[in-house]
Amino acid sequence: MSGPLDGIRVVELTDSLSGAFCGKQFAGFGADVILVERPLTGSQVRWEPPFLDDVRGPDRGGIFLYAAAGKRSLTLDPSTPDGQEIFKRLIARADLLIEDRGDETPPIAREPGAPAINPRLVRVRLRKWSPGGPYENYAATELQLGALGGWMVQVGELGRPPILSNSRTMTAFVPGLMGAIAGFAAVLRARKSGEGTNVDLSAHESLLFNTRFNETYYSYTGTEIKRHGRSFAGWSPTYRVFEAADGYVSCAASTDAQVELFMQLAGVEAEGFATREQRYERAEEFVERLSAWTRSKTRDEIFHEAQLWRIPMGKVSTIDEMVGLEQLVDRRFFQEVDHPVAGRRVHPGIPGRFSETPAPAQTRAPLLGEHTTEILCGELGYSRDEVSALMGLSVV
Amino acid sequence: MNGKTIPLEGMRVLDLTTFWAGPLPTAIMADLGAEVIKIEAIQRLDPFRAYGAPPSADPDQAYEWSPLFNSTNRNKRGITLNLTSEEGRNLFKRLVAKSDAVVENYSPRVLRQFGLPYEVLREINPAIVLTSISGFGQTGPWRDYVSFAAIGEALSGISSLTGYTDEGVLLHGVGVSDPYTGLTAAFATLSAVHVARETGRGQHIDVAQLESSVPFIADAFMDFSLNRRKRVARTNDDPVRAPHGSFPTQGQDNWITISIGTEAEWQALVDVMGRQDWAARDDFATPLKRRRNRDALHGLIAQWTASHDKEELARQLQARGVAAAPVRSPSEQLTDPQLRATGFFQHVEHKYAGRHPYPSFPVRFDGAYPRINRVGPPLGEDNHYVFTKILGLDEAELARLKEARVIGDRPVR
């Protein structure tokens, strides 16, 4: 086997970052993922910044290069009768269809029940909002999804604007991975029972599900958990970001034992801070005393010394430092991928190491329509002559 | 989800996890219909039980009142088993023989200390999948380092992207590294279960929090990879849009997000604000000028939003096609009209904690969310079922195990 999902066939009809990341899960583990794209312009994900050298182009978008790695590209106009026929043949042999295009999806994939041509097909449908509620047709960027999805209220300082991190993929990829989990669970069932399932999810609810159950917490305690700047005040004054001599470190010490070790390491006298209550009462002073130590050390010194003491602390890496982190280097996490337009570039690797069926080495993202002829002639039974006609008709 | 479409029916998972990143994937598998058996020990409870019990909780049983534990362990069976005892280990091995997967998030050396590394489990059950979740992975120089959400965020670069412009970094209050890890582990585990069903061979999966988190900043990472650009934290920046941000509205800590891309959206916003004079200003005349002068523009919009109600304003702007939405606090989510319409929160009774709302697994299978049949199993709640029905022990053996403190339903202090 070449990867755990070798032999699984996925058809992906996506324009969103979520949809692209959903398909990437399958491609990363060795499934055959066919990305169905618009002729000439392709998936909208190709047009998402950042671009190589800041020059726009269908094969220059960083998110696409990463998220489409290992997929095959077939161009198709699903509004034409021949396009619909091709699509039908594609899904006839697929385990899974991932789509986020709504009304642009071919009618056969929009029928309420499983298509007669493939009753075991699982359909993952990613939307911004669930149908059936007042937000169903709301316009939204990641900001609105993060606002109603419960993330923004947790990031920033109280009294100042709620924010999201400076990375759209941090929110946009979440529903994609949720969809992959749910969709693949349905595939596991379909392979036993022969029956496919409709799998519907929204970015809005996917984000909310992953906010540490703050609503349930409120219901139990009456306490509203909200953003608290550098700290997460509910757990311990020490669960926070500290300043270091050359940047920042994070500390997750929350049990009394961990906090006391941290005090010892930082040389903070127990006097006045001996109990949890005292530490809360004089939290500001307490943090300042610990900070005097952290500010005198580099991030790496703090990180490794604290970890030797089994205090959960970590350095805040900057983006340019990622590829050099010794743990990731040792585990060969990052992978170089060669692409005819982008050249040799480092990609984040596939998380999840399998002892018996490791994920295959990542291959590059496809050029637009790169595999159209290969798929139509080699797999769907069209002749070269017919493919050429379909191209003339702008179907593919 | 009706009985016909429970995707993971018939799958059994042993859950040796604690806190959030580990219990999340097993909760998802439980939601999807797998029989998940959460294993604690009366000598060592899941530490997540110590977080968030309300003052009204019976102090003697506060560990049954954690909203975090009870949420993260929904739909699971709960047993106790002392894995430091020979008998406990033997019972665990007998469960391994009857299961599809084991998920654990101990420090990498612990399972070996128990004498239960993957090689031992595989001998008992060649098809078993063992998923090991850790901060940094089962190998490498940092393998023994401890990690929680804030640590995964820090190392993975997420923290460096989180904060206001030019003000250093902040903690990400969602604790995103935990769900990133848990979701990654869920997909990997299901993939390995698929392999085991096809080939009869299980395997060991190594899921690291750090590695699970990095893909989520792919846009920032690829910008570095392609352009050597070192992205840093910025206040609600967008590569294209302006205005784009959160603005204060009436009341305490109330905010609305507004995001403008096209000229038509800008005109609609100006209309709703009744400030055609701003539209006429040269410094806001084009999308690029608005982006360049966004600080000034954001200041003006904030003055206007401050006297409005966030809900009403969002509705007005959305009616004109403008991406706008109120920032929701946890308590507001419970009465959110969209979530009410979809029935997102399910109200579930807990033996000790009473009836509370819990979020559905946010995916509808043939139109319905998976049901939450139960939440956070009380300590040892399913000992009887699991040891008699699954392992075939009799009442006398059960009593003896309890006597020997291999199992139990009260913590040993």
Tokens of B34: 């797998």
Q: For residue A353, give the nearest of B5, B206, B328 by CB distance.
A: B206
| pLDDT value at A347 more than 90 | yes
- B221 belongs to a structural domain: no
Binary contact (A173, B327; C-beta < 8 A): no
* DSSP state, residue B44: B
Q: For residue B211, give the nearest of A178, A316, A351 by CB distance.
A: A351
Binary contact (A4, B324; C-beta < 8 A): no
Mark which of B329, B351, B379 sits at the end of a domain: B329
| pLDDT value at A300 more than 50 | yes
Q: For residue B345, give the nearest of A139, A159, A215 by CB distance.
A: A215
- B188 belongs to a structural domain: yes
B204: closest chain A residue by CA: A355
* CA of A210 vs chain B CAs: smallest distance (Å): 6
Is B164 in the A-facing interface, judged by CB distances under 8 Å?
Answer: yes
- B200 belongs to a structural domain: yes
B116 & B152 share domain? yes
B199 & B260 share domain? no
Q: Is the ipTM of this complex over 0.85?
A: yes
- B226 belongs to a structural domain: no
3-class DSSP assignment, residue B134: strand
B113 & B178 share domain? yes
Tell me, what's the pLDDT at A381? 94
Binary contact (B151, A250; C-beta < 8 A): yes
Residue B78 belongs to domain spanning: 3-216+343-403
Close Cβ partners of A200 (under 8 Å, ≥ 6 residues apart):
A125, A127, A130, A131, B363, B364, B367
Written as one letter, the residue type at A340 is P
- B284 belongs to a structural domain: yes
**HSE-up of B334 (CA within 13 Å, CB side)?**
16
Is B126 in the A-facing interface, judged by CB distances under 8 Å?
Answer: no
Mark which of B270, B295, B329 sits at the end of a domain: B329
B192 & B323 share domain? no
How far apart, in whole angstroms, are the C-alpha atoms of residue A20 and residue A6? 19
B206 & B60 share domain? yes
* CA of A261 vs chain B CAs: smallest distance (Å): 14
Binary contact (B170, A186; C-beta < 8 A): no
* CA of A70 vs chain B CAs: smallest distance (Å): 15
A53 by Cβ neighbours in 10 Å (0-12 / 13-18 / 19+) ranks as exposed
B12 & B101 share domain? yes
Residue B86: CATH number of its domain: 3.40.50.10540
Mark which of B329, B357, B392 sits at the end of a domain: B329
Q: For residue A133, give the nearest of B184, B338, B361 by CB distance.
A: B338
B26 & B149 share domain? yes
Strands (E), chain A: 9-13, 32-37, 72-75, 96-99, 122-127, 198-202, 240-244, 247-251, 313-315, 335-339, 343-347, 353-354
Tell me, what's the pLDDT at A112? 86
3-class DSSP assignment, residue A37: strand
pLDDT grade for B1, boundaries at 50, 70 and 90: very low
C-beta separation of A65 from A53 below 8 A: no
Tell me, what's the pLDDT at B110? 95
B262 & B392 share domain? no
B177 & B312 share domain? no
- B16 belongs to a structural domain: yes
Q: pLDDT per residue over B31-58, tens digit each?
A: 999 999 999 999 999 999 999 999 999 9
- B237 belongs to a structural domain: no
How far apart, in whole angstroms, are the C-alpha atoms of residue A184 and residue A164? 30
Helices of type H across B310-364: 310-319, 330-333, 337-342
Binary contact (B216, A53; C-beta < 8 A): no
Domains of chain A: 9-209+331-392 (3.40.50.10540), 240-321 (3.30.1540.10)
Size of interface A-B (CB pairs under 8 A): 513
Q: pLDDT per residue over A86-132, tens digit each?
A: 999 999 999 999 999 988 888 888 888 888 999 999 999 999 999 99
Q: Tell me the chain B residues in contact with residue A346 when contact means C-beta distances shorter than 8 Å.
A: 225
Give me chain B's average pLDDT, please.
Answer: 96
| pLDDT value at B215 more than 50 | yes
* CA of B97 vs chain A CAs: smallest distance (Å): 20
What is the set of active-site residues of B?
178
B168 & B80 share domain? yes
B121 & B17 share domain? yes
Residue B301: CATH number of its domain: 3.30.1540.10
B269 & B139 share domain? no
- B225 belongs to a structural domain: no
How far apart, in whole angstroms, are the C-alpha atoms of residue A284 and residue A245? 20
Q: pLDDT per residue over B322-377, tens digit each?
A: 999 999 999 999 999 999 999 999 999 999 999 999 999 999 999 999 999 999 99
Binary contact (A53, B149; C-beta < 8 A): no
The number of distinct structural domains making up chain B is 2
Question: Per-residue pLDDT averaged across A341-345, rounded?
Answer: 97
3-class DSSP assignment, residue B112: helix
State the pTM of this model.
0.98
